[in-house]
Amino acid sequence: MTIRDVAELSGVSVSTVSRDLNEHPDVSDDVRARVLSAVKELHYVPNASARDLVKSGGDSIGVVVRGADNPFFTPIITAIEKSVEKAGYTLSIRQIRAGEDELAAAARLARSKKLKGIILLGGRFDYTADEVAPIDIPFVCCTYANNFGTVDRAAFSSVSIDDRAEAYKAVKYLTDKGHRKIAVLMDSSRDGSISELRYRGYLDALRDAGIEPDEGLTIESSTYRMDSVYDKTRVFAASGKEFTAIFAIADSMAIAAIKALHDEGIDVPGDCSVIAIDGINMSLYTIPTLTTLVQPKEEIGKRAVKILMDKLEGSGEHCHIRLNTALRQGGSVRNL
Amino acid sequence: MTIRDVAELSGVSVSTVSRDLNEHPDVSDDVRARVLSAVKELHYVPNASARDLVKSGGDSIGVVVRGADNPFFTPIITAIEKSVEKAGYTLSIRQIRAGEDELAAAARLARSKKLKGIILLGGRFDYTADEVAPIDIPFVCCTYANNFGTVDRAAFSSVSIDDRAEAYKAVKYLTDKGHRKIAVLMDSSRDGSISELRYRGYLDALRDAGIEPDEGLTIESSTYRMDSVYDKTRVFAASGKEFTAIFAIADSMAIAAIKALHDEGIDVPGDCSVIAIDGINMSLYTIPTLTTLVQPKEEIGKRAVKILMDKLEGSGEHCHIRLNTALRQGGSVRNL
C-alpha cells in the first residue's frame, strides 16, 4: 500500500495527497474528503518517519522518566505529549527506575533517536559540568532544579515549584493552626534532592514560628516506596514520641502514613493532622481527604516543552521557572 | 568522541572495543575493565542506533499503552521493559488516552519505528479482520483477549486473566460469606470489553447461588474515572436501595467507592462489604485494606514479550494464555 494507491483511488495527484497528509493549507475541503475516504478504504498508514524527515529533518524530543511508578508524573507526561505533538515534533519516552542514572539514559536516548532536545522528568539535584557533558543537546530539568549542582545555570533549563518555599508554606499552615510538635516524613534529610530541600523548608518554618527542631520528630524512609514508608511510620507512631501533626514531603508518603497511623489506633485528624505536597489524584480518596499543596502538573509539562521549543527555534535562552502550588483543603488537618 | 579515542586510551584495537561494547563473550575481564574505564573517562556514549543496526537490523518492539493514567499498567510496563531489554531488543512506548484508537496508533508506531512486533496494553475486545489489517507485524493483546472480536485466533496472541471466570470467583467469595444483595460497580454492562465480561461473571455467580439479578443493583459509571465512579456510588448509596456488598470490577473503582460509602455514612465492611479485581499497589492503603483478586502483573508482561520473541525467532505460533489471579484478603469483606 503506497501513496500512489491513495492518489489513484481519490482521483488526485500524488503530490496533492502528500500536501493533504502533511496538512498544507492549500488543499480544498472536497479533495480532503476524497483523500480521507481513500485512506480509510485502503487502510493506508502514512509512513510517519519518512514524512517527518521531509518535513523537519527528523525533529524529535525525548523524555526520560525517572521512577515510572510515580503517579505524580503521569499527568505531566500527558501534558508533555500533547504539547510536543502540537508543536509538530515526535516524542520518544524512556522510563528508568528511581535510583538509575538519568544522565546516562538521556545521553543514550539522544544519540539513538537523534533527538533535538530532551526533558528529564525527575532526577538528581547535584549535577557537575562533567556529568552533563555527554548530553550535547538542550535539556530541561522537569519538576526539579538541580539546586545543589555546579552546572552553569545558563547551560540548561528547569521548571519546578520552589520546593523549600512550598514546604515552608505547608508547615506554616500547621503552625498557624496551633501545631508545635510537628514530625517530618521524608526520603532523607541529606539526599541532595527534593527531600533535603523540603526538609530545609520545614526547618525554616519551625524557626520562624519559634519552635526548636527535635531530631526525634524526623522520619526518614530512605525511599519513596509506600510499603517502607508505612513500616517506618508505624514504628515511629508506636515509639511513644509526642506529636500532633506530620508534614509528609509527598502525597504518596502521606497516604501510606495515614494508613499506618490508623493501624496504630491514631485518628487523623483527631489525634494527628497530616499535610503533604503534590496533589496526586489518589489523595482525593483517602479517608479523610488529604490536605495538600497541589503542584500545577499540566503547567509544568507545558512549560518544559515551551522552553525547548523556544530554544530550538533560536529565539530563547535557557531559563529557570518556579511555579506556585495551590492549597487544597481536605479533612486531614485540624485546629489545635 | 569516537570509538577510536576509547581504543587509544584503553590500549586495545577498535574491533576489541566494539566486541566489548556489543557484549561478545570473547573479551577478557582485564580488557573489559580497561575499556570501561576509558569509556567513563571520555564520557563516551556508544551510538546505540548504529550498533543495533549492525547487531540485528534494528530490532525494535513497540508497546501502545491505552490509558496512561491507569496505575494497573505501570508494573506491567516495567516487566515488559525488562524482558525486552534482556532479549536484546529496543523498546518504543506510545501512550494514548483510554478512548483512543489503539489499532491506528499501533499501525503508525510500527511503520515509523520499523517495529518487528507490538504489544497492545489495553484495548477493545471486538476487533474485525479489516481493522487489524494495517498492523502487518505480529501483535499481542496484553491484559485482554479480544473475546468479542471476529479476528482469526491464529492471527494474533493474547495474555490476560479470564475476566468472566475471575469475576465469578470474586462474587462467589461474597455469596459464600452469606451476601445475597450484591451490587456491581462497572464501566458498562454492554461495552464489549472487560466491564461486560466481568459483569457476565457476576451474573453467572448470582445464578449459581440461586440469586435473582436485580437491575437496581447495577452501578454503571460509563468511565473508569475515579471522580465519576465516586459520584455514581454516592447517588446509589443515597438511593435507599438495600445492599450488603459491592463487587467493583476494578481496584481503582473500589477505592473511589469506599470513599463514597464513607461520605454517605456507610461503614465498610460493617454496613457494606467491598471486593474487586486487579490488586494495584494503592489498594493496600485504603481503610480498610481492600480485599481483591490480584492479577499476576509481572507475569503478564513477561509472557507477552516471550510470545513475541518465540514468534519473531520462528519457533512459535500465536497463542492465547489465561493466567490466574490470587486472592488477597484485606479487611473490606465480612461474614453476614
CATH number, domain with residue A113: 3.40.50.2300
B224 to chain A, any CB pair closer than 8 A? The answer is: no
Q: Is residue B105 part of a domain?
A: yes
Same domain as B268, residue B120: no
The answer to whether B65 touches B73, Cβ cutoff 8 Å, is yes
- Peptide bond preceding A138 in cis form (omega within 30 of 0): no
Q: Is residue A60 part of a domain?
A: yes
* Residues of chain A positioned with their CB less than 8 A from the CB of B71: 71, 282
Same domain as A173, residue A154: no
Q: Which residue has the cell 489506633?
A: A265
Same domain as A114, residue A29: no
A19-75 pLDDT, tens digit each: 676 555 566 777 777 777 777 667 666 554 444 333 444 689 999 999 877 889 989
Q: Is residue B116 part of a domain?
A: yes
A112 to chain B, any CB pair closer than 8 A? The answer is: yes
> Which residues touch B156 (CB under 8 Å, ≥6 apart)?
B132, B138, B139, B140, B141, B146, B318
Q: What is the DSSP string of A157-176?
A: EEEEE-HHHHHHHHHHHHHH
Residue B146 domain boundaries: 57-161+297-324
* Residues of chain B positioned with their CB less than 8 A from the CB of A256: 285
Selected for mutation to probe chain A from B63, B65, B112, B136 (highest A CB count within 10 Å) is: B112
The answer to whether B64 touches B118, Cβ cutoff 8 Å, is yes
> A300 or B24: whose pLDDT is higher?
A300
Same domain as B213, residue B315: no
> pLDDT grade, residue A229 (50/70/90)?
very high
Q: Is residue A51 part of a domain?
A: no
With 60 as the cut, is the pLDDT of residue A127 above it? yes
pTM, 2 dp = 0.82
Give the other-Cβ count within 10 Å of A100's Cβ: 14
B36-50 pLDDT, tens digit each: 777 766 766 655 444
Average pLDDT score, chain A = 89
Minimal CA separation from B28 to chain A, in Å: 25
Same domain as B208, residue B156: no
Bridge pairing between strands A139-142 and A157-161: parallel
Q: Is residue B329 part of a domain?
A: no
Q: How far from the centroid of its chain's Cα atoms is residue A126's Cα?
A: 18
Same domain as A252, residue A207: yes
Q: Is residue B331 part of a domain?
A: no
Q: Indicate yes or no: CB of A112 within 8 angstroms of CB of B52.
A: yes
ipTM above 0.85, yes or no: no
Same domain as A257, residue A172: yes
Same domain as B39, residue B150: no
B147-179 pLDDT, tens digit each: 889 999 999 999 999 999 999 999 999 999 999
The pLDDT value given to residue A22? 59
Q: Is residue B224 part of a domain?
A: yes
Q: Is residue B203 part of a domain?
A: yes
Domain count, chain B: 3
Same domain as A285, residue A245: yes
The pLDDT value given to residue B46? 59
Highest averaged pLDDT of the listed ranges A80-94, A123-137, A181-195, A241-255: A241-255
Minimal CA separation from A7 to chain B, in Å: 18
List the grid coordinates of A93.
519516552
CA atoms of B20 and B33, how far apart (whole Å): 10
Same domain as B301, residue B156: yes
Q: Indicate yes or no: CB of B255 within 8 angstroms of CB of A78.
A: no
Q: Domain holding A30: CATH number?
A: 1.10.260.40
Same domain as A218, residue A301: no
- Amino acid identity for residue A30 in this structure: D
CA atoms of B284 and B71, how far apart (whole Å): 13
B231-253 pLDDT, tens digit each: 999 999 999 999 999 999 999 99
Same domain as B156, residue B305: yes
A19 to chain B, any CB pair closer than 8 A? The answer is: no
Q: Indicate yes or no: CB of B49 within 8 angstroms of CB of A114.
A: yes
Q: Indicate yes or no: CB of A45 within 8 angstroms of CB of B71.
A: no
